[in-house]
Amino acid sequence: MAGWPWWLQVSLIFIAARLVSACIFMAAAIHQGTNPWFPPAPDYWNFITIWDGRWYQEAADNGYPSDLPVDGNGVVKENAWAFHALFPFLARGLAAMTGMGTLPALTAIAMVAGLGAALVIFKLFREFAGKRAAMWGVIFVSTFPVSPILQVPYAESLNLLLLSASLLLVVRRRYLIAIPVVLLMCLSRPTGVPFAAMLGLLLLWRLWQRYGPSAGRTLPPGSGSGAAPTSVRSLVSLTVLVLATGLGALAWPAIAWAVTGDQAAYTRTETAWRGHDLVPFKPWFDTGRMLFGPLLGVLAPFVFTALFILVMMSKPVRALGTELRLWCACYMGYLLVFLHPQTSTFRMLLPLFPLALGAAQLSKSKAYRGTVVVMFVLLQIVWIVWLWAWAPLPGGGDYPP
């Protein structure tokens, strides 16, 4: 394959990875018992449309409720406002044009977007690494334990495509061109807030480079796009992008407010799955105490944060450039502030995909890289059988993927 066009190599890698995941899905479907969606032992196409796929179908077919559904105590119940509109509305349009059903349209968009994301990710990785390392980075992303989510009717693949395209444009300093891509990203999944934070910090860094005490000095090799001088025009364009992204990050909550008349419609809906109000940072300590006890549980979030900082300071990750490192730091910070850690947390880590390139550059050994891929595929089996296949818990409820 070495002499083939890069886009063909990436496409074949991604398709092969999805076929492997499809085999795992089909094997798990055979053992799927009674569930809320269909009879036991469903076929592949039914099996991959469960969980949030049905919520996206609801949003595509029936839109979003103008009145938030509440229980007898006035607590908001689960509803479609938790799911951003770009993905289901694209599916509605595709279904209307082709006559296919909503779920097949959602699945088709997810698969095509996943392939597009792999192609864009390769181009992004090539900004910081050679072709072989970038290709291995794509292989790691394509086989990541939660990568099966890229072929099911979830918005992750569409968001990954728009996120990687946004990062590529920012790395290349095409700030004004990035605005429409970033705005679409903000309407695909809740990644707008950390992206706005990343851009804000990037703007401060660019201002420091131009006007700080070290202005005019030559930066060391390996500094990524940060090694290039920053013009006033570039600073103005970046400022416009920061403002546009900030507005985009608030767009979906504002739309929910405008339609329902409830200022907190989006956050109240998001917390409906938690069963309690949003308190920043607290869920991490609650989960830590549940998993590790009263003492170690309090320390667990700090240990986790320290380990992530060590990863970000490692040599392979430092080679990713200013923008990608800032994105990973801001996104993890966003998760620490707002996320309720549970089984869906594994899926939430997918936007940290730039770290796949750091992992690929940790060693050039084929044995190391091949072992990582094998372990990722084995963990796909764990993820699908444990979390995707539905099974009730003894005390009620389930573990969502």
pLDDT at 221: 45
User: Stretch 304-315: mean pLDDT, rounded?
Assistant: 96
Residue pLDDT, tens place only, 106-141: 999 999 999 999 999 999 999 999 999 999 999 999
Task: Confirm whether pTM is higher than 0.75.
Answer: yes
Question: What's residue 357's pLDDT?
Answer: 98
What confidence tier does 279 reach under pLDDT thresholds 50, 70, 90? confident
Q: Do 154 and 52 contact (CB within 8 A), yes or no? A: yes
Residue-wise burial string across 377-396, b where 16 or more C-beta atoms lie within 10 A, e elsewhere: bebbbebbeebbbbeeeeee
At 31-62, the pLDDT tens digits run: 999 999 999 999 999 999 999 999 999 999 99
Q: Which of the four pLDDT bands, split at 50, 70 and 90, describes residue 227?
A: low
Q: What is the distance between the alpha carbons of residues 164 and 121, in angstroms, rounded to a whole number? A: 6
Q: What does the pLDDT read at residue 223?
A: 47
Checking if the pLDDT of 219 tops 90, the result is: no
Q: Where are the alpha helices (DSSP H) in 212-321?
A: 232-260, 265-270, 282-292, 296-313, 315-318
pLDDT at 277 over 90: no
Residue 161 main-chain phi, psi, to 5 deg = -60, -50
Close Cβ partners of 63 (under 8 Å, ≥ 6 residues apart)? 80
- What pLDDT is attached to residue 162? 98
Q: What is the pLDDT of residues 317-331, one digit of tens each?
A: 999 999 999 999 999
Domain ranges for the chain = 6-388
Give the chain's largest Cα–Cα span: 68
